Each structure stands twice: as structure tokens, then as C-alpha cells.
Amino acid sequence: MTFSTVFNFRDLGGLQNMDGRTVHYGRLYRSDSLHRLTGEEAEKLAALGVRTVLDLRRPTEIARDGRIPELPGMAYFNLHPIHREWNLGYYAGGPERYLADRYLDMAVEGVDGFGAALRLISDADRAPVVMHCFAGKDRTGVLAALTLALLEVAEADIMADYAASEAAQAPIGAQVRRDFPDAILEPPPAHVLACPPQAIGLFLSELTQRYGSIYGYARAAGVTALHIEALRAHLLD
């Protein structure tokens, strides 16, 4: 599925977990912001049968840019994982270290938002679900990684899925310049736009160290064993 104003949309189906089970196609999608979808483009999304949209952007971003239009049968949730603003300056450890540290901060500080999102994703009656933030890389990348880790998808595949967002960053930047043609926009530094797979691997490793396991984090987020069982029941074959 491709759109003219959305550049980082993809299905998380097809990935295998450690037991050889496969993530179902057409149940869970990730994307950059859907606020530009109108008319036929919005109908293309609706044709996928999407029942739930999880918007991880800040309320101020939604006030500035808007949200996906209301569509019949589609529930919308704004579940911003509250976290501190990022310092965009130089980082000695390189982009993978910079991003891994930001993602760990985000997961810890935004635990309530991520927990609420994971509980919704675990509900089969909410599927298909699409999760998105602005660029579909950072907040969405963390939520996708948490979901796939709870499904016991191999870390290498989680890292590859995260890295796939890099190709979308330039088109997203070009679209932003089209949206605000009169604004003087300074692009974020390269280490902020990067998607090195090691970043999400470091993040998952250090999250595990902090909470004992991905399940320890899930418990802290209010995600129970029953939620995880339900998640696997409807997202894995």
C-alpha cells in the first residue's frame, strides 16, 4: 500500500518469531503521520479495514498539523508517551548511541503511554491497528520494537524493520517543506534522522538490563500476562 503524502507506511506481517510462528499480515501497521490523508487516500486506508489508529504525537503537534479524518468504524486514540524534549546537539557516541539513549528515556518516562498502546494492540477486536507518530521512526519505532519483542520476533528482524524507516526520512522532509513553503526550516541533524539498526538493538538490550526482561518492562507498563497471551493469539499464526 502506497500513499502520495505518507511515506513510511508498512505492514508488520510476515516476521517470524523464535518458535517459527509468523506475524499475521493485515493486523498491525506502522506509519508516519496520517494527518495528510484526505479523500481517496483516506479511503485507501479504510479499505484495509483499519479499526484503530494510535497517534503517538504530542497534543501540540496535533493542534498544529491536525489528525487523520474521522472515518466510519475507525477509533482514534492520542497516546503520546510523555518524555523530555531531545537535545539535538553533538553526541560523542554516534547516532546509534544517541538514539538508543533517547529511546530508553522515552520508554521509561513514557511507560504509561506505551502501556496503554500495547494493551490496545493486544485486543483482537481493535485490529487491524495502525500506529504512527510524525516521521514513523522514533516513537513508532519504539512501540513497534516493544510489540515485536513481546511476540518474540528475533532481534535481528526487529532491527531490520526499524532500519527500513531511513528511506522515508528524505521524502518526509520534502513534504514538510511543501507544507510550510514560507517557513525557514532548518533540518534536524543527521544523527537525529538516522536509523542505524544498532540503535534499536542497544535500546532493547538496555531496557532488558533495567527491567530484567521485556516482560518486566511490560509489567511496569501495566501489560499483564493475559494481555501478552492475547497479543500473541491474534497477531501470530
26: left (phi over 0), alpha (psi -120 to 50) or beta: left
Closest CA relative to residue 199, chosen from 66, 97, 57: 97
Question: Is cis: bond before 81, omega within 30 of 0?
Answer: no
**β partners of residue 22:** 16
**Average pLDDT of adjacent 10-residue blocks, the chain of 237 residues:** 93 98 98 93 94 98 95 96 82 90 97 99 98 98 99 98 96 87 74 94 98 99 99 98
**pLDDT for the residue numbered 222:** 99
Taking CA 65 as the corner, what is the angle to CA 60 and CA 67, rounded to the nearest 5 degrees?
Answer: 95
> Using N-to-C axis directions, what is the helix angle for 225-235 and 139-150, rounded to 10°?
90
Q: Is the pTM of this model over 0.85?
A: yes
**pLDDT for the residue numbered 153:** 99
Taking CA 103 as the corner, what is the angle to CA 37 and CA 118, rounded to the nearest 5 degrees?
Answer: 60
User: Which domains are seen in the chain, by residue range?
Assistant: 10-235 (3.90.190.10)
List b or e across 170-187, with b for residues whose CB sees 16 or more CB atoms inside 10 angstroms: eebbebeeeeeeeeeeee
